[in-house]
């Protein structure tokens, strides 16, 4: 199953047939169902309920020269229940491929070399088209993002609480800054960076890849079915700034800058989404990213398990 090819006429019909619906969450869900196809939608729900998927949760990501961080990121997500990683390598020149080899050999990572500029969205579309029937849930995230099941042992334990017609669940960004580090410190990312912004800013999603209608970016998509927050509340829109979704049960820790040294290096190398455009942002955005005045040790319980982790 692949992303549907939605014609302009079907988009128009979906708007026409749903414009009278008063509740935005329901209107948005029904519009997505029409664009996906009503029969395909109900068949998907029925199949999902009965099917035993190869993976309960997988992660899709694009990486570029993030070798120093990728092992911690994979090991952490294995600890919280992720069974498969689709890693698209956007022309890394460091030792990323070498670090990933043990995970590739064990079938945990599927590695794809994926050259080009601004390739993040293309990578996520390719992952959905190729692997949507392998995994019940898919998280398209970056290597500076850590999905945290706040009150459950694992992410799948949390996902089991969601209704069957969920198109995606929102994981609000909890943005961490430099925690005062000018240069790269020794140790784990989750160990070194414990100061964050007070209010969540932005978000990522864990999606049902069979209910996605259109993929715009890693943040903005059209779904058949409901977009919900971590409490199962249906969302008419994702207000990422003024009223971000709850972080009571699920959050996405976003280690955006790390130390100043690492942030400058990150800006210089660019990335899968912004390509080389991030180079100009490093001085303009640094101060905003580093209004990190809330001490948060939610990740401390993972430090020792990560240091002792063995495949």
pLDDT at 253 over 80: yes
CATH ID of 8-307, from 2.60.40, 1.10.3470, 3.40.630, 3.90.550: 3.90.550
Where is mean pLDDT largest: 26-30, 105-109, 224-228, 260-264? 105-109
Q: Indicate the pLDDT class of residue 106, thresholds 50, 70 and 90.
A: very high
Q: What is the pLDDT of residues 265-299, one digit of tens each?
A: 888 776 544 555 555 555 677 888 887 789 999 99
**Domain residue ranges in the chain:** 8-307
Q: What is the pLDDT of residues 8-50, one digit of tens each?
A: 676 666 667 677 676 666 676 666 666 666 777 778 888 888 7
DSSP of the chain? -------HHHHHHHHHHHTT-S-HHHHHHHHHHHHH-HHHHHHHHHHHHH---SEEEEEEEEESS-HHHHHHHHHHHHHTT--EEEEEE-S--SSHHHHHHHHHHTTSEEEEE--SSS-HHHHHHHHHHHHTTTEEEEEE--TTEEEEESSSSSHHHHHTTS-TTEEEEEEEEEEE--TT-SSPPSS-HHHH--EE-SS---EEEEE-TTSEEEE-SSS-EEESSEEE-TT--B-SS--SSSSPPP-SSEEEEEE-S-SHHHHHHHHHH-BTTTBTGGGGGHHHHHHHHT---EE--TTGGGHHHHHT---
Q: What is the pLDDT of residues 168-216, one digit of tens each?
A: 899 999 999 999 999 999 999 999 999 999 888 788 899 999 988 765 5
pTM: 0.87
């Amino acid at each position: 199953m692949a992303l549907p090819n939605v014609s302009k006429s079907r988009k128009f019909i979906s708007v026409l047939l749903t414009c009278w619906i008063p509740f935005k969450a329901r209107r948005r869900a029904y519009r997505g169902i029409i664009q996906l196809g009503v029969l395909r939608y109900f068949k998907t729900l029925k199949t999902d309920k009965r099917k035993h998927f190869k993976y309960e949760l997988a992660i899709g990501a694009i990486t570029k020269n993030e070798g120093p961080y990728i092992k911690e990121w994979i090991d952490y997500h294995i600890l919280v229940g992720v069974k498969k990683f689709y890693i698209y390598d956007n022309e890394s020149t460091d030792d990323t491929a070498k670090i990933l080899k043990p995970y590739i050999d064990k079938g945990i990572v599927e590695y794809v070399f994926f050259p080009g500029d601004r390739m993040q969205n293309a990578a996520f579309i390719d992952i959905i088209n190729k692997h949507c029937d392998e995994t019940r849930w898919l998280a398209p995230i970056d290597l500076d993002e850590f999905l945290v099941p706040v009150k459950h042992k694992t992410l799948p334990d949390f996902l089991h609480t969601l209704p069957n017609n969920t198109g995606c669940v929102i994981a609000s960004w909890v943005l961490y800054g430099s925690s005062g580090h000018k240069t790269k410190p020794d140790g784990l990312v989750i160990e070194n960076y414990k100061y964050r912004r007070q209010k969540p800013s932005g978000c990522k999603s864990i999606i049902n890849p069979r209910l996605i209608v259109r993929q715009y970016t890693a943040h903005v998509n059209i779904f058949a079915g409901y977009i919900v927050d971590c409490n199962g509340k249906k969302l008419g829109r994702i207000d990422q700034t003024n009223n971000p979704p709850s972080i009571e049960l699920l959050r996405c820790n976003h280690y955006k800058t790390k130390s100043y040294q690492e942030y400058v290096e990150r800006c210089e190398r660019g990335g899968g989404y912004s390509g080389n455009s991030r180079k100009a942002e490093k001085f303009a955005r640094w101060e905003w990213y580093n209004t990190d005045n809330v001490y948060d040790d939610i990740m401390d319980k993972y430090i020792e398990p990560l240091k002792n982790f063995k495949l």
